[in-house]
Structure 1
Amino acid sequence: MGTETMTRRSVVMFPWLAYGHITPFVGLAKNLADRGFIVHLCSTPVNLNSIKNNIPQSYSQSIQFLELHLPESPDLPPQYQTTNGLPLHLHDALKKVLKMAEPDLTKFLKTLNPDLLIYDVVNLWAEKVALSLNIPSVRFFTASAAMCSYFTHMMTKPGEEYPFPALRLRKYEQTRTSELLSHETRNFKREKSQETVDKPAQAMMLVNSSREVEGKYIDYLSETMKYKVVSIGTTFQAPVDSDDETELIDWLARKPASSTVFVSFGSEYFLRKEDLEEIAYGLELSGVNFIWVLRFPKGEEISVEEALPGGFRERIGERGRIVEGWAPQAKILGHRSTGGFVSHCGWNSMMESLNLGVPIIAMPMHLDQPMNARLMVEIGAAVEVERDEKGELHREEMAAALRETVGGESGENLKRNVKRISENLRLGGSREMDAVVAELEKLCTKPQRIA
């Protein structure tokens, strides 16, 4: 047993400080641990505390935490060591403060002397730290390869037509995205200048995806980046049974099969008053059963009753449930009574819905979400709620999409498509992870190590 422990590969993982980034790192950590790796997850205490319940006790010896304490900065209040609840204007400040913790990351790597560092693409500077210690490293992109390939194309081939017409930003999205793209282009150029001058021969990037979902986009991303891009397959694991929200699950169980939609727009996006009102009326007009998770920014003193149209709760009666803050998403999506997922199309939510075989009613809001929505429509897993030329939501369009998904002919086609994708993800996921392990083993084999 001692010999076996001595030969196990050791990996340090360094995610960006957002729950949407940490979650796929945890999934990858579990899969690597299942294949004999020892994994050290490095993040701030508040982020590590948020994932402790997602790692069963059986992983206690193979997945361990490294607490990274960020230095104080006049630009960032001390309570903001995570993007959860972080105002958008402070995101760059958080990145700078995390970079200031480079000496502590260096100390961890010197002490542990791991076989490999897997770092988030947001933390690109970590590559140089690993190189200085002769530790192989690989970057991990936690969002969709399709979105990454689209924006990489725009930055590296300006003026050239993107080769996949299914992924297109609409005019109102182009306006909203132009500033973001300009900002990301500046970051891209700055980060490229920070990269290792001599790119390693085995330069590789992992993506939180599967070739079943976006194989051609993975290949194109590899072509444009000139990196080997390797998909990790599905990291989804069925939710552990618990007593959380028993009343809500009991309510759901009383509904007919596939009759209910789950409505949630992620943990870091907050609806505008106008959108919230249209969604409320759309749910009311649809006649469909629903569970709606409502979230409000930290410090914003507003009740659910104030946010909703007058008399909304009374009119929907037992047809709907409104949950404030949090709901057991995977448990609800995996329930037989759930027939659709009304989503902003965050990537983790998309992969979760595909794995559980739930059709998607796409209502993207910003950032990568429009690209993810178009991808889901392209593979036959979603219907997108149409907006007007200004990008505004309308209740009638939402109600029609809900009714068709839950009870219409196109909804039946969606269900068949998503079921097929779900089965293929399960079948192919293990093979993709085996391929990842084989690639990582190559990286771990190097001529010398620094003691």
Structure 2
Amino acid sequence: MLPWLAFGHMIPFLELAKLMAAKGHNIYFISTPRNIDRLPQIPKTLIPFIKFVKVNLPKVKNLPENAESTKDVPFDDVKYLKIACDGLQQPVSDFLKTTSPDWIISDFCNYWLGQIAGDYGVRMAYFSVFPAVILGFMGSPEVLMYGDDEQQKTLEDFIETPRWISFESDVRPSLFQLTRMTSLSNNLKDDGEKQVGDTYRLGATIQSCNAVLVRSSLEFEPDWLNLLNRLYKKPVIPVGLLPATATNNDNDTSWREAREWLDKREKGSVVYIGFGTETKPSQYELTQMALGLELSGLPFYWVLIDQRGASDDEVIKLPHGFEDRTRERGVVCTSWAPQFKILSHEAVGGLLIHSGMSSVVEGLQLGKPLVLFPMLIDQGLIASYLVEKRIACMIHREEVDGSFEPESVADSLSLVMVKQEGKMYRDKAKEMMSLFSDRNIQDKCLDELMHFMMN
């Protein structure tokens, strides 16, 4: 396995590795030393089956010292992490030559891997940690690599339903999400390095692989998975939703402190707020969010990433006096927190999240209703799919600039957490538990995957 250098990717890869290892298969998990050291511990029973392979990340101009994952750098420096990742071609080639695995399961970033794997007779699968709705909306490998001149000529064209989608769907990103991604991708230092765009990387990876594995299930996304089969013209295999499993490290100080606070709250009264390790809100978004949360009057547990690595000089700050005014009913945690354990506590009644797939799965497998605040394109597509299926509520934002009022945050939270007219979201979350936490569905997906790979 060779995941992209982001914990939102490495963790799902590790979850899939654990499931495969539990079936008796041997896994080599390749990443950098610092990333491997920061991964969660695996169960002792799986240690004989999962070998962690540490490869050193090449030094790259403009990439900060000791930066080995996206959580270590500001968003506009992630491009240099990808350039460094491209420097892993030789060590990965050497590994395949000496180890000769049956398959290598890769992420979107490693567009160069298909050729190397083919040279050594190793089959390659692309594993998408994103659901099928994102891949389907973005189109075929050819469209990803070279664009779609038939339809997508201006920025506004990209929010229209693509011509290759033949079924009814309201799924689309917002214009402000597209604008943000465009400005970030153009915000590069003049370093003379060759820049390879994300969509090209993804398209080339899909084009050169033998199969596409998707974090999804037919029960969750039947139309979108069927679309991928038509677009890719190669096997597309849902590996399941990869529901989280709790670890038993009760000696963890951060969990003890969180549990003590939660134990004092009423059942279902607390809203958990978290935007993952990869997403940091802007100062404007943070201020409006905090004021809205204060306005809601709800108890909250907020895990806030205010800085991405030591080189991030845009440290965001809560409004003056916010923590003092909300001290009696809220916690703001600016360090790592055991998210799944916190969500599992009966005091937590709902989530305010960025629509990242891991947080969506964790919330719904526990039957907790969701309020969504997507910031980037992939999050926007997941959010609009969940809203279309009436699974979650999304905070209203202006289409062009993404502006929003604190009242929108307070109203959405009150609707989903408290009000009678929001009961549909609470009921739907409980209904989704049977899909998102169903180990039989997960086992079925895994069995079909392993049957395919072994044959």
Q: TM-score, normalised by structure 1?
A: 0.86
Confirm or deny: 8 A CA contact 1:213 1:379 kept in the other structure.
no
Q: Which runs of 5+ in 1 are unaligned?
A: 1-12, 443-451
Question: C-alpha distance in 2, partners of 1:434/1:56?
Answer: 21
Equivalences for 1:330-349 in 2 at 5 Å? 330-349=340-359
Which among 409, 416, 419 is matched to residue 405 of structure 1?
416
Whether the aligned pair in 1 keeps the contact of 2:170 and 2:388 (CA below 8 Å) is yes
1:174 Cα deviation from its structure 2 partner: 4.2
Residue 170 of structure 1: aligned partner: 174
Q: 1:247 and 1:346, CA in 2 relative to 1: closer, same or farther beyond 3 A? A: same
The aligned residue for residue 18 of structure 2 is 30
Q: Give secondary structure in 1 for the equivalent of 2:260.
A: helix
SS at structure 1 position matched to 2:327: helix
Q: For 2:70, which of 83, 100, 112 is the aligned residue? A: 83
The corresponding residue for 2:232 is 225
CA distance in 1, matches of 2:202, 2:341: 39
- 1:123 alignment counterpart: 110
**1 CA distance for matches of 2:205 and 2:314?**
44
Contact 2:368 2:426 in 1 (8 A): yes
1:420 is aligned to: 431
Letter of the 1:440 counterpart = M
Amino acid at match of 1:243: N
Pairing 1:11-410 to 2, within 5 Å after superposition: 13-51=1-39, 53-152=40-139, 155=144, 158-159=150-151, 160-161=162-163, 162-163=165-166, 164-177=168-181, 188-189=199-200, 203-241=210-248, 242-244=250-252, 245=254, 246-297=256-307, 298-299=309-310, 307-389=317-399, 390-410=401-421
SS of the residue corresponding to residue 123 of structure 1 reads coil
> Which secondary structure state, in structure 2, belongs to the residue aligned with residue 262 of structure 1?
strand
The Cα of 1:291 is off from its aligned counterpart by 0.4
| Secondary structure of 1:261 counterpart | strand
Q: Partner amino acid for 2:242?
A: T
Contact 1:293 1:322 in 2 (8 A): yes
Check the 8 A contact 2:32/2:68 in 1, yes or no: yes
Is the CA contact 1:283–1:399 (under 8 Å) kept in the aligned structure 2?
yes
CA 1:187 to 1:172, structure 2 compared with 1: closer, same or farther past 3 Å? closer
Q: Distance in 2 between matches of 1:65 and 1:92?
A: 25
- Alpha-carbon offset, residue 75 of structure 1: 4.7
Q: Structure 2: which amino acid aligns with 1:340?
A: G
Question: SS of 1:121's equivalent?
Answer: coil
Give the superposition deviation at 1:35: 0.9
Letter aligned with residue 422 of structure 2: G
Residue in 1 that maps onto 2:157: none
Distance 1:43 1:206 in 2: 20
Secondary structure at 2:28 match in 1:
strand
Query: In the comparison of the two structures, how many residue pairs are matched?
Result: 423
Distance 1:70 1:185 in 2: 18
